[in-house]
């Protein structure tokens, strides 16, 4: 799958177009959210828990802040953590997967059991423990999420590399005396990249959800607004019992739509690589 | 109806393209008919049309009449609904499928899968268990096989199970679609002998579908050769083999490996068959035919080419095949 | 059942558990500063802290501490909660049944419903039913489960106040009979269990659907249909049992998300299970409890994985004879 094909796929399918549109809008808001926000998201006022009005499109919070502004500003936290954590996870997972699949033997045995353990240990409790032990900040969250979600990628990459290793062109390169580094760089990596890419896209979704969950549990960066921390504040201040739907629905909906967009793109690429997972109708 | 199966002007299309474009076939009682041709010529599609098992998106037209022993009126398969077909399938016409490897449910025991079909058609309390043992014995397997799972059997054993399955309800017609392709040579011969023996013993009519004329030569009474969704030649097996009346048949015969024959390697048929549903204009074989001429841009009719024989070639009956090198000018139109 | 196969799986599970226990120690003693746990005590003098350090064995060398920890864990002594001053094991023991009730109900319903919907969608692939089911399940798959929980509270406890918004029983209620009490608990269970179900449903649906789509193209399905079998029997007797196999393996990997759901959903509904306990411990920086719940969650997932392996073994004859 070349880069061009990968782009075509996004433009030619409804799922790709939906994903691309949502992703584009989200990234735009993540960059310019502060500028376009009508209010200072942390400026409290006496208009407490007001329903949507002309002044406050999505109403106000329990301390009279503008929900819409918070939503716009909070986008950046979700996007940065989602993408950065997925990147770490992808790098770590690919490195471990390639090493384990390519070198085999004891390297594989040790790395594989490590992978197995990380697959089995429930991720959220592990993230909670790490986030609680360290002082929560944006980059701590990135590290915590990235370091706990790589095992799945490692497993998939390992399987792919193991089949590649037996293929003729790799055997030939080895017989010709090419170094391991060279073979990995020119033969293994290019053939594993589409798989890593598809997986990373799916990990972005996991990372966004993880950030939201940690923030919701009060383990987010206290100096930043995120969709998860908005939900935490909304829930903590009793907004649901007050019937303040304008405060409760938007952050969750944003998370859902972004995760959905990313997941659909991820599935799209996964289907190309592995046609067993077919989501679309035949066309 | 004299024949047990009569197909008239069968057409199968998929997205507006004809996969099978109007074929007639007769199958007499107890007869064995070979249906030959390269892959993609519509053999399997024809078989599935007889069972009305074509996947969604396929349209079939033309009449298919089945006259099992003792029935007053022939069953018009083409007029049957899905529910109506359920009593015809296996009861009257059954099938041995291509690819024995995946033809059985991997998580159910052999015995269960055989009994299930018997119970389905004969009702429960029909002594299905007893029948399963008989069937396994009939195809040369021990009763212990009933307690096995498919993955515990060899390819040959699985294909025998599939034959037992096909015979489970005493059908009048059995269609065997490439029953030996997935097997090694020794197994191939055994399975063919088994089919032939059972046909004689049970008096059923057999349609043997294959791309391998050698396989059919030993088993079949009559043969029909298909090319690009049409029948191009049909007639008694021995006559067609000894004196083919269509250049395609001739080529199929020549490309057979001749053990102890004069020639070593036979020349392969030049080019490949057209894509299903997209035949060239006129005679579909024209682009590959060394004898093709101007007239071949007109589609030939399937016309009489001798006693009890038909061929779809403008030049048939051929009294003498020209030497290839003289005629090869036509190979590249 | 094949004894050698089983003992291998059990050994692997025990090994993983050992790893988790060791990992747990280093996580809390090495990465986290143990004195931070003690700094919570209001106005503790340095002498008092030193005394406490001695009490906890924190003044001893790391290896000694490790040996103590392994011994304690083996005796199921997980320390004392800093908040309630009760044994962590007792806290866990009290909370466990509630979590099992919630997780069990949610998983059971999600499995049945997800499987059923997956089969329906796969057999009506590309039709309206499929599109609708796919849309609904992708949405629940992508949305945070605690947000779904909050929405459920908003709709069913605030707008239409027909169900309680939290807790496991009506506070202060006196029950005439055990039945009345069970009914009250069931009423409280509805919303959290629905949230749990909706969280798991999407995964089960998507796995079952693609697995069914896959199986329905297999040769043996055509063969079964050719034998004159009714289509629904072909689906239920032959396609579904085969399609369930990937569901069992893949859902085993998802047990971690069940745990995540337990934490957030219990928090939302003040359901007194292990998740709520974890949430309290996060807020109070109650490390012994956090350590204990981490251990029990890991143990739960390892056990669930082992059970899934056994189920797979039971369902797939091809594994049995290897």
C139-174: pLDDT as tens digits: 999 999 999 999 999 999 888 888 888 887 878 778
Q: Is the predicted pLDDT of residue C193 greater than 90, yes or no?
A: yes
- Burial class (CB within 10 angstroms; exposed 0-12, middle 13-18, buried 19+) of C30: exposed
Chain C residues within an 8 Å CB radius of B94? 226-227
Full domain range(s) for residue C53: 3-74
- Kindly report the nearest CA distance between residue C178 and chain A, in angstroms: 30
| Band (B326; pLDDT cuts 50, 70, 90) | very low
Q: Is the predicted pLDDT of residue A83 greater than 90, yes or no?
A: yes
Q: Is the predicted pLDDT of residue C30 greater than 70, yes or no?
A: no
Of B47, B35, B49, B59, nearest to B227 by C-alpha is B35
Q: Is the predicted pLDDT of residue B327 greater than 50, yes or no?
A: no
Residues C228, B99: C-beta atoms closer than 8 Å = no
Residues C264, A213: C-beta atoms closer than 8 Å = yes
| Band (B68; pLDDT cuts 50, 70, 90) | confident
Residues C159, A243: C-beta atoms closer than 8 Å = yes
pLDDT at A53: 82
C206 half-sphere exposure, CB direction, 13 A CA radius: 24
Residue of C nearest to B168 (CA): C227
pLDDT at C98: 94
Q: Are residues C149 and C57 in the same domain?
A: no
Q: Are residues C184 and C271 in the same domain?
A: yes
Q: Are residues C170 and C233 in the same domain?
A: yes
Residues A133, C28: C-beta atoms closer than 8 Å = yes
Question: Does residue C175 lie in a domain region?
Answer: yes
Q: Over range B63-92, report the average pLDDT.
A: 87
Of A84, A121, A82, A96, nearest to A206 by C-alpha is A82
pLDDT at B178: 86
Question: Does residue A217 lie in a domain region?
Answer: yes
Residues C228, B88: C-beta atoms closer than 8 Å = yes
Provide, for chain A, the percentages of residues in helix, strand and coil under a 3-state DSSP scheme, each rounded to the nearest 5: 75, 0, 25
Q: What percent of chain B has pLDDT over 70?
A: 91
Q: What is the CATH number of the domain that holds C169?
A: 1.10.3720.10
Q: Over range A220-247, report the average pLDDT.
A: 89
Q: What distance in Å separates the CA atoms of residue A263 and residue B121, rounded to the nearest whole number?
A: 47
Chain C residues within an 8 Å CB radius of B58? none
| Band (A87; pLDDT cuts 50, 70, 90) | very high
Q: Over range C238-260, report the average pLDDT.
A: 86
Chain segment C266-289, per-residue pLDDT in tens? 999 999 999 999 999 888 888 889
Q: Which of A226-235, B98-107, B278-287, C181-190 has the lowest mean pLDDT?
A: B98-107
Residue of C nearest to B119 (CA): C229
Q: Over range B126-148, report the average pLDDT.
A: 88
Q: Are residues C140 and C59 in the same domain?
A: no
Q: Over range B72-80, report the average pLDDT.
A: 87
Q: What distance in Å separates the CA atoms of residue B226 and residue C248, rounded to the nearest whole number?
A: 46
pLDDT at C120: 93
Domain count across chain C? 2
Q: Is the predicted pLDDT of residue C36 greater than 50, yes or no?
A: yes
Q: Which residue has the higher pLDDT, C152 or A277?
A: C152
pLDDT at C208: 92
Chain C residues within an 8 Å CB radius of B109? 317
- Burial class (CB within 10 angstroms; exposed 0-12, middle 13-18, buried 19+) of A176: exposed
| Band (C320; pLDDT cuts 50, 70, 90) | confident
Q: Over range A1-20, report the average pLDDT.
A: 77
Of A85, A93, A77, nearest to A226 by C-alpha is A77
Question: Does residue A22 lie in a domain region?
Answer: yes
Q: Are residues C55 and C97 in the same domain?
A: no
C-alpha pair distances (Å), C37 with each of A17, B116, B168, C285:
51, 67, 75, 7
Q: Are residues C119 and C161 in the same domain?
A: yes
Chain segment A32-50, per-residue pLDDT in tens? 888 887 888 887 777 777 8
For residue B317, is the peptide bond before it cis, meaning its omega torsion is within 30 degrees of 0? yes
Question: Does residue A84 lie in a domain region?
Answer: yes
pLDDT at A239: 84
Q: Is the predicted pLDDT of residue B269 greater than 80, yes or no?
A: no
Q: Are residues C194 and C59 in the same domain?
A: no
- Residues on C contacting B at a C-beta cutoff of 8 Å: 218-220, 222-231, 237-238, 241-242, 245, 315-318, 321
SS (H, E, C) B51-76: HCCCCCCEEEEEEEEECCCCCCCCEE
Residues β-bridged to residue B234: B224, B310
Q: Are residues C64 and C177 in the same domain?
A: no
C27 half-sphere exposure, CB direction, 13 A CA radius: 23
Question: Does residue C81 lie in a domain region?
Answer: no
Final residue in a domain of this structure, among C45, C74, C103: C74
Q: What is the DSSP string of A106-174?
A: HHHHHHHHHHHHHHHS-HHHHHHHHHHHSPP-HHHHHHHHHHHS-HHHHHHHHHHHHHHHTSHHHHHHH
Q: Are residues C67 and C95 in the same domain?
A: no
Residues C222, B85: C-beta atoms closer than 8 Å = no
Question: Does residue A183 lie in a domain region?
Answer: yes
| Band (C35; pLDDT cuts 50, 70, 90) | low
Q: What is the CATH number of the domain that holds A227?
A: 1.10.3720.10
Interface of A with C in 234-273 (CB under 8 A): 234-235, 240-243, 245, 248-249, 251-252, 255-257, 259-260, 263-264
Domain count across chain A? 1
Full domain range(s) for residue A208: 3-28+73-277
Question: Does residue C80 lie in a domain region?
Answer: no
Q: What percent of chain A has pLDDT over 90?
A: 28
Nearest to B91 among C223, C228, C317 (CB): C228
Contact A154, A97 (CB under 8 A): yes
Contact C136, C120 (CB under 8 A): no
Question: Does residue C115 lie in a domain region?
Answer: yes
CB pairs under 8 A between B and C: 75
Residues A231, C125: C-beta atoms closer than 8 Å = no
Helices (H), C124-218: 128-142, 145-153, 178-215
Chain mean pLDDT for chain B? 84
pLDDT at C63: 80
Helix, strand, or coil (residue B29): coil
Q: What distance in Å separates the CA atoms of residue B74 and residue A237, rounded to the nearest whole number?
A: 79
Contact A212, A220 (CB under 8 A): no
Chain C residues within an 8 Å CB radius of B106? 220, 242, 317-318
Q: Is the predicted pLDDT of residue C130 greater than 80, yes or no?
A: yes
Chain A residues within an 8 Å CB radius of C142? 205, 255-257, 259-260, 263
pLDDT at A185: 85
Contact B302, B225 (CB under 8 A): no
pLDDT at B214: 81
pLDDT at B201: 86
Fold (CATH) for B3-220: Rossmann fold (3.40.50)
- Kindly report the nearest CA distance between residue A102 and chain C, in angstroms: 24
| Band (B114; pLDDT cuts 50, 70, 90) | very high
pLDDT at A280: 40
- CATH 3.40.50.300 spans which residues of chain B? 3-220
- Kindly report the nearest CA distance between residue A212 and chain C, in angstroms: 8
Question: Does residue A42 lie in a domain region?
Answer: no
Q: Are residues C98 and C189 in the same domain?
A: yes
Question: Does residue A188 lie in a domain region?
Answer: yes
Chain mean pLDDT for chain C? 86
Q: Over range A148-166, report the average pLDDT.
A: 87
Q: Over range B25-43, report the average pLDDT.
A: 89
**DSSP-assigned letter for residue A60:** B
Q: Are residues C193 and C250 in the same domain?
A: yes
Q: Are residues C154 and C205 in the same domain?
A: yes
pLDDT at A277: 45
Chains that touch C (3 or more CB pairs under 8 A): A, B
pLDDT at B129: 86
pLDDT at C154: 92
- Test mutation, C215, C228, C246, chain B, max B CBs within 10 A: C228
Contact C195, C238 (CB under 8 A): no
The reply to whether A209 touches chain C by the CB within 8 Å rule is yes
Question: Does residue C37 lie in a domain region?
Answer: yes
pLDDT at C240: 94
Q: Is the predicted pLDDT of residue B260 greater than 80, yes or no?
A: no
Q: What distance in Å separates the CA atoms of residue B74 and residue A171, rounded to the nearest whole number?
A: 63
Chain C residues within an 8 Å CB radius of B89? 225-228
| Band (B328; pLDDT cuts 50, 70, 90) | very low
Chain segment C15-24, per-residue pLDDT in tens? 888 988 888 8
| Band (C180; pLDDT cuts 50, 70, 90) | confident
Q: Is the predicted pLDDT of residue B13 greater than 50, yes or no?
A: yes
Question: 10 Å Cβ neighbour count for B11?
Answer: 16
Q: What percent of chain C has pLDDT over 90?
A: 39
Q: What distance in Å separates the CA atoms of residue C81 and residue C90, rounded to the nearest whole number?
A: 10
């Amino acid at each position: 799958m070349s880069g061009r094909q990968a782009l075509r796929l996004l433009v030619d399918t409804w799922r790709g177009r939906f994903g691309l549109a949502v992703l584009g809008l989200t990234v735009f808001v993540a960059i310019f959210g502060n500028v376009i926000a009508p209010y200072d998201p942390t400026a409290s006022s006496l208009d407490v828990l007001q329903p949507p009005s002309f002044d406050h499109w999505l109403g106000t919070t329990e301390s009279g802040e503008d929900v819409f502004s918070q939503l716009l500003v909070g986008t950046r936290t979700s996007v940065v953590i989602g993408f950065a954590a997925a990147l770490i996870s992808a790098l770590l997972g690919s490195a471990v997967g390639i090493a384990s699949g390519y070198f085999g033997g004891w390297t594989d045995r040790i790395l594989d059991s490590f992978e197995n353990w990380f697959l089995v240990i429930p991720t959220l409790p592990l993230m909670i423990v790490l986030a609680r032990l360290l002082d929560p900040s944006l980059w701590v969250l990135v590290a915590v999420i990235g370091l706990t979600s790589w095992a799945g990628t490692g497993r998939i990459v390992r399987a792919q590399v193991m089949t590649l290793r037996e293929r003729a062109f790799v055997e030939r390169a080895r017989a010709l005396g090419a170094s391991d580094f060279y073979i990995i760089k020119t033969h293994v990596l290019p053939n594993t990249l589409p798989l890593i890419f598809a997986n990373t896209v799916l990990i972005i979704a996991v990372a966004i959800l993880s950030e939201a969950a940690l923030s919701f549990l009060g383990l987010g960066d206290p100096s930043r607004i995120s969709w998860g921390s908005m939900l935490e504040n909304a829930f903590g201040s009793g907004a649901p019992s007050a019937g303040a739907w304008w405060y409760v629905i938007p952050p969750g909906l944003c998370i859902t739509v972004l995760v959905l967009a990313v997941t659909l793109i991820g599935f799209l690429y996964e289907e190309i690589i592995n046609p067993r997972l077919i989501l679309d109708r035949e066309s | 109806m004299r024949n047990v199966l009569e197909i008239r002007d069968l057409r199968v299309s998929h997205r507006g393209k004809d996969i099978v474009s109007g074929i007639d076939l007769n199958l007499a009682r107890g007869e064995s008919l070979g249906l030959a041709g390269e892959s993609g010529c519509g053999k399997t599609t024809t078989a599935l049309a007889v069972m009305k098992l074509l996947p969604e998106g396929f349209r079939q037209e033309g009449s298919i009449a089945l006259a099992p022993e003792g029935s007053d009126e022939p069953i018009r398969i083409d007029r049957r609904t899905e529910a109506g077909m359920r009593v015809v399938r296996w009861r009257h016409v059954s099938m041995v499928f291509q690819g024995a490897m995946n033809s059985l449910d991997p998580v159910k025991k052999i015995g269960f899968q055989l009994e299930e079909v018997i119970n389905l058609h004969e009702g429960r309390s029909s002594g299905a268990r007893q029948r399963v043992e008989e069937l396994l014995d009939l195809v040369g397997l021990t009763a212990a096989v009933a307690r096995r799972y498919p993955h515990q059997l060899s390819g040959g054993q699985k294909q025998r199970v599939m034959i037992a399955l096909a015979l489970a309800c005493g059908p009048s017609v059995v269609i065997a679609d490439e029953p030996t392709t997935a097997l090694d040579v020794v197994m191939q011969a055994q399975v063919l002998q088994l089919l032939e023996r059972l046909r004689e013993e049970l008096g059923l009519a057999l349609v043997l579908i294959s791309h391998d004329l050698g396989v059919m030569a030993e088993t079949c009474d009559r043969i029909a050769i298909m090319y690009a969704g049409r029948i191009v030649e049909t007639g008694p097996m021995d006559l067609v083999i000894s004196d083919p009346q269509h250049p395609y048949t001739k080529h199929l015969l020549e490309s057979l490996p001749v053990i102890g024959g004069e020639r070593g390697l036979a020349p392969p048929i030049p080019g490949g068959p057209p894509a299903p549903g997209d035949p060239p204009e006129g005679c579909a074989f024209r682009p590959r035919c060394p004898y093709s001429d101007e007239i071949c841009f007109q589609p030939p009719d399937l016309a009489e080419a001798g006693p009890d024989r038909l061929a779809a070639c403008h030049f048939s009956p051929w009294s003498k095949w020209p030497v290839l090198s003289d005629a090869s000018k036509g190979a590249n139109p | 059942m094949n004894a050698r196969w089983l003992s291998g799986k059990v050994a692997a599970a025990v090994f993983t558990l050992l790893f988790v226990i060791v990992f747990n120690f280093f996580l809390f003693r090495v990465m986290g500063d143990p004195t931070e746990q003690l700094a919570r005590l209001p106005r503790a003098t340095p002498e008092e802290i030193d005394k406490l350090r001695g009490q906890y064995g924190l003044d001893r060398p790391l290896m000694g501490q490790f040996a103590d920890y392994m011994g304690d864990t083996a005796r199921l002594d997980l320390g004392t909660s800093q908040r309630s001053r009760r044994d962590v094991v007792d806290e866990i023991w009290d909370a466990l049944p509630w979590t099992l009730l919630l997780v069990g109900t949610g998983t059971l319903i999600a499995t049945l419903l997800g499987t059923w919907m997956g089969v329906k969608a796969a057999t009506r692939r590309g039709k309206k039913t499929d599109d609708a089911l796919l849309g609904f399940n992708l949405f629940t798959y992508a949305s945070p489960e605690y947000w779904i929980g909050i929405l459920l509270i908003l709709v069913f406890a605030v707008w239409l106040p027909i169900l309680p918004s939290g807790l496991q029983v009506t506070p202060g209620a006196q029950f005439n009979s055990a039945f009345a009490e069970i009914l009250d608990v069931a009423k409280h269970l509805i919303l959290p269990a629905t949230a749990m179900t909706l969280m798991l449903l999407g995964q089960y649906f998507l796995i079952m659907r693609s697995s069914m789509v896959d199986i329905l193209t297999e040769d043996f399905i055509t063969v079964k249909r050719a034998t004159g079998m009714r289509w629904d029997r072909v689906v239920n007797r032959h396609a579904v049992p085969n399609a369930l196999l990937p569901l069992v393996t893949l859902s085993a990997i998802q047990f971690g998300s069940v745990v995540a759901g337990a934490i957030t959903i219990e928090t939302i509904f003040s359901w007194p299970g292990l998740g709520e306990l974890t949430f309290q411990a996060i807020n109070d920086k109650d490390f012994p409890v956090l350590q204990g719940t981490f251990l029990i969650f890991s143990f739960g997932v390892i056990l669930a994985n082992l059970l899934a392996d056994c189920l797979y073994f039971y369902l797939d004859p091809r594994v049995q004879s290897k």
